[in-house]
Chains A and B, each alone.
Chain A
Amino acid sequence: MAVINKTGAPLQEAAAPMRRPTLPIASLLLGALAFVGMMISIWVIFLYAPTDAIEGLSQRIFYFHVPVAWLAMLSFVIVALGGAVYLWREDERWDWLALAAAEAGAIFTTLTLVTGSLWGRATWGTWWTWDARLTTSLILWFLYIAYLMLRSYLGKTSTSARAGAVLAILGVIDVPIIYESVNWWRTLHPAAEIGTPGALPPSVVLVLMLSLASFTLFYCVLLIQLYQLVRLQHLTSRLRARLQVVD
């Protein structure tokens, strides 16, 4: 009998015969690599990196804060790109990628805000200021939450995927405008010091690069897992809808 599911999408994957689960070797290797990288990073951050002359120990937060903030922003770009390609090609795998990146990004943005606040408390003496970068990160966090809420309210439908894509595209264009407008309004955050020769000792740059690399690896592992989770959730709900039709 012809089976129609609620989403109206074809049942390509759900209808395929069940394969025997194989060991995801690539995923495991990547995970192991990320684990080793994170361990080395933690070791060099606390034991190898020099203590900052002015800020003291709290400066070490910087080696966590910068990678986490970078991944928070990268994640939003992936959400928007995934959404844009989804609108263009109508291939739902891109939407699953976008949704997975949004979930990962929400976590990393939260971590950015938390580590930044801790550092701000130690260095500026305040948890929060309405500086351009802080405000933009907070707005980014709101955008992630809005995206996830929108997706959850609209359910696992193509309407939800399209609405999410539009929100992410508008957001990714809006975030630089927000940054610029708050920057015009007021600013306090320390400027980027990498690239200016002599601003940072080479060991600090080395530790930062190592930390950036291993956090990015960890992010990739997380993204792959989340993608699989989102994919399975969609396939399960499709199977469930199919069962209801058969009943």
Chain B
Amino acid sequence: MSTLSTLRLLCSQVLAILGKDIRYELRSKQTWLGMGLFALLVFVIFNFAFDLRVENRAAVAPGALWVAFVFASLLGLGRTIAAEREGGSLDRLLLCPVDRRAIYLAKLLGNLLFIGVVELVALPIFAALFSVPLFSGELLPIVLLGTLGVAIIGTLFSAMTAATRARELLLPLLVFPLIVPVVIAAVRATGALMIAAPDEPPWLGLLTAFDVIFFSLALLTFSYVIEE
């Protein structure tokens, strides 16, 4: 089979699985609602935890934003494979004559979409609650690359932890240490948008490099972690 037709087949498989997940999510609305509400609650808690004033707002806001995003993402990421297991559909998905990479890509795109929607809703609310001007086009690539980094690692590990008894406990323990560079880079890049700092290292470059390296690794290793 030629490369082009293989690629076309992979795309159609990815789209089929992604379509199934979107349909499931649109009907149940569990993940979206849960993640969104959780992100809002983190904003509220941060508001109390840091006693926001005008002078410390710029220092606290980027951190609060990314803590909310990362924590909320993990809630959704944990459901990725676990929902399939609980529904008994994981075996059938694995029995399908599709490449394991297609399953990973579909799950990654689905997670990116769900988290993205939550972030789109949460961003204006965050800007209003923390009264920070965040509606610049420059924030978009930071949010996208940062979320992609979290989703790449999270999707891979959700497959690993789905089989364990304590997956809600184990997933953050595995994911948080690995995404430290993403969190640092995303928070600093967001902070640099609010207060222009001279001589900032290339945070977006770091985010891109991280995403590329770990995306390739995840594609290579996903077939090993999904249970047989």
Interface set of A (CB-CB < 8 Å, partner B):
87, 135, 139, 142-143, 145-146, 149-150, 153-154, 159, 162-163, 165-167, 169-171, 173-174, 177-178, 180-182, 184-185
Contacts and interface: CB of A to CB of B under 8 A. Distances in A.
Given A146-B174, A149-B173, A185 B188 contact: yes
A103 B184 CA distance: 29
A163 B225 CA distance: 5
19 contacts: A87-B221, A135-B180, A143-B178, A146-B173, A149-B170, A150-B164, A154-B163, A166-B156, A167-B174, A169-B221, A170-B178, A170-B214, A171-B178, A174-B214, A177-B209, A177-B210, A178-B180, A181-B180, A181-B185
B29 to A, nearest CB: 30
Q: Majority SS of interface residues in chain A?
A: helix
B177 A166 contact: no
Interface string B187-228: 010000000000001000010011001100100010011010
A184 B177 contact: no
Given A153-B165, A181-B184, A170 B153 contact: yes
A173 B153 CA distance: 13
A169 B160 CA distance: 14
B113 to A, nearest CB: 24
Contacts of A146: 170, 173-174, 177
A138 to B, nearest CB: 9
B174 A169 contact: no
Contacts of B221: 87, 166, 169-170
| Interface range on chain B (Cβ under 8 Å from partner) | 20 to 34
Contact of A162 (B180, B201, B225): B225
A92 B213 CA distance: 28
Interface string B108-128: 000000000000000000000
Given A162-B224, A166-B224, A150 B163 contact: no
A174 B156 CA distance: 15
Interface in B150-166: 153, 156-157, 160-161, 163-166
B176 interface: yes
Contacts, number: 83
A103 B156 CA distance: 24
Contacts of B170: 146, 149-150, 153
Interface of B: 153, 156-157, 160-161, 163-166, 170, 173-174, 176-178, 180-181, 184-185, 188, 201, 206, 209-210, 213-214, 217, 221, 224-225, 227
Contacts of A171: 177-178
Nearest to B201: A184
Contact of A167 (B160, B188, B210): B160
A247 B160 CA distance: 33
Nearest to A184: B201
A135 B183 CA distance: 14
Given A150-B170, A153-B166, A159-B163, A143 B177 contact: yes
A185 B184 contact: yes
B144 to A, nearest CB: 19
A51 to B, nearest CB: 38
A87 B220 CA distance: 11
Contact of A177 (B165, B181, B225): B181
Nearest to B166: A153
B217 A87 contact: no
A178 B181 contact: yes
B181 A174 contact: yes
B160 A170 contact: no
Given A167-B174, A169-B221, A177-B210, A139 B180 contact: yes
Nearest to A182: B184
Contacts of B213: 173, 177
Nearest to B176: A142
Nearest to A183: B201
Given A154-B164, A181-B180, 7 more contacts: A87-B221, A153-B170, A159-B227, A170-B156, A177-B210, A184-B184, A184-B201
Contacts of A181: 180-181, 184-185, 206
Nearest to A159: B227
